[in-house]
Amino acid sequence: KIYYDSDADLSLLRDKQIVFLGFGNQGAAQAQNLRDSGIMNDKILIANRADSYAKDAQSKGFIVEHDFEKAAIVADILFLLIPDQVQPNIFNEKFAPNLKPTATIVIASGYNVFFKRLSFSPQQDVVMVAPRMIGSSVRSLYQKGKGYPCFVSVEQDGTGSGLSIALALSRAIGATKAGAIASSAYEETAMDLLAEQALWPNIIMLFREAFSVLKEAGCSDEALCYEMWMSKEPAEIFERAAEDGFIGQLKHHSTVSQYGQLNGALALDGEPARAHFKDILYNQILNGKFAEHLSKIEPDLEKDGLQNPLNQLYAKAEETELVQAEKRVRGRLADLLQ
């Protein structure tokens, strides 16, 4: 099911106090779109700790509240737009005890709802309005009068009006212009995490190994980096795939390339990859194992240097031949430009 502007009634938002928790990538874009859709500025409140994001919201004319408990008390609708890993603590401690019993909570990612990390009251609506775009594009496409892909769902219909409110909000942030797709926190989480934990890791690994094999065969750092990604060819291929079809885009390549790609892809045995993807999906993602692991290391993700496990992974990735070669190439390029 796809929802368009005509399915959404903006008047449902009249007189509602809308609170944005967070004014980052998504918060800044969605709050500005909503205001430009005719929601009065005094009906929008930005709940943000005192940091550069709060200053940005103030400079754009928004009313900012640093006290989360005060923001929670007035919210008819609450957009949860702070990073997923910090949402449970802040929402459960500061917002949940103070929110109105019939408030609507809007999530932009299914993660915390699917893994039941947020506490809601039974009469509250919990809806997902999840743009499939980075925040800057959510804003720029709206300004150009265009839509963008977005998932919508009702995860808890406490008032019975969850869907109509979700659609009104989707329209106000510009998401129903090109059609918002009915989805669910389950679907969004399964797809997102499988792409992040299986599909892209494999793509990173394939590039790393292809790089090493070609390097060993005598290809230069410069030639390899430009051939493989610095020319932006992969970006162009995906752009064409979105327009002309995943396989249809091959027609833009030479005959030698088309034959090589199709012949190679069809000859590969997909079974090992399928088994690996299933293992990650069922035994790491859907059973909550990854979420549990992440919640254990969450406090460390705020740390500096190598005490932060994410920085440890970056340090390990730095040691690979591909990253070392790219460093050398970028260094030589910078020298040339001086």
Residues of this chain that interact with ligand NAI (CB under 6 A) are 22-27, 48-49, 51, 53, 81-84, 86, 90, 108-109, 130-131, 134-135
Q: How far is the CB of 218 from ligand NAI (least distance, A)?
A: 41
Q: How far is the CB of 330 from ligand NAI (least distance, A)?
A: 26
Helix, strand, or coil (residue 65): strand
* 111 in Cβ contact with 140 (< 8 Å): no
DSSP states of 196-232? IIIIHHHHHHHHHHHHHHHHHTT--HHHHHIIIIIT-
Half-sphere exposure in the Cβ direction for 336 (13 Å, CA): 6
Backbone angles phi, psi at 262, to 5 degrees: -70, -45
Q: How far is the CB of 337 from ligand NAI (least distance, A)?
A: 31
In terms of CB distance, is 33 or 109 closer to ligand NAI?
Answer: 109
First to last CA, the chain: 55
Tokens 């509602």 sit at which residue? 16
In terms of CB distance, is 84 or 125 closer to ligand NAI?
Answer: 84
In terms of CB distance, is 49 or 276 closer to ligand NAI?
Answer: 49
Q: How far is the CB of 108 from ligand NAI (least distance, A)?
A: 4
* 115 in Cβ contact with 142 (< 8 Å): no
In terms of CB distance, is 49 or 252 closer to ligand NAI?
Answer: 49
Backbone angles phi, psi at 145, to 5 degrees: 80, 15
In terms of CB distance, is 83 or 101 closer to ligand NAI?
Answer: 83
In terms of CB distance, is 46 or 224 closer to ligand NAI?
Answer: 46
In terms of CB distance, is 25 or 176 closer to ligand NAI?
Answer: 25
In terms of CB distance, is 33 or 48 closer to ligand NAI?
Answer: 48
Residue 302: exposure state from Cβ atoms within 10 A (0-12, 13-18, ≥19): exposed
Please give the Cα distance from 101 to 236 (Å, whole number).
Answer: 49
Please give the Cα distance from 71 to 65 (Å, whole number).
Answer: 6
Q: How far is the CB of 188 from ligand NAI (least distance, A)?
A: 9
Tokens 């460093």 sit at which residue? 327
Q: Quote the radius of gyration of the chain (alpha carbons, Å).
A: 23
Q: Name the DSSP class of 49.
A: -
In terms of CB distance, is 49 or 330 closer to ligand NAI?
Answer: 49
Other beta carbons within 10 Å of 264? 9
Residue 229: exposure state from Cβ atoms within 10 A (0-12, 13-18, ≥19): middle
Residue nearest to ligand NAI as judged by C-beta position: 24
Q: How far is the CB of 23 from ligand NAI (least distance, A)?
A: 4
Q: How far is the CB of 11 from ligand NAI (least distance, A)?
A: 26
Q: How far is the CB of 56 from ligand NAI (least distance, A)?
A: 8
Please give the Cα distance from 106 to 169 (Å, whole number).
Answer: 9
Q: Which of 40, 115, 322, 78 is nearest to 207 (CA)?
A: 322
Q: How far is the CB of 332 from ligand NAI (least distance, A)?
A: 33
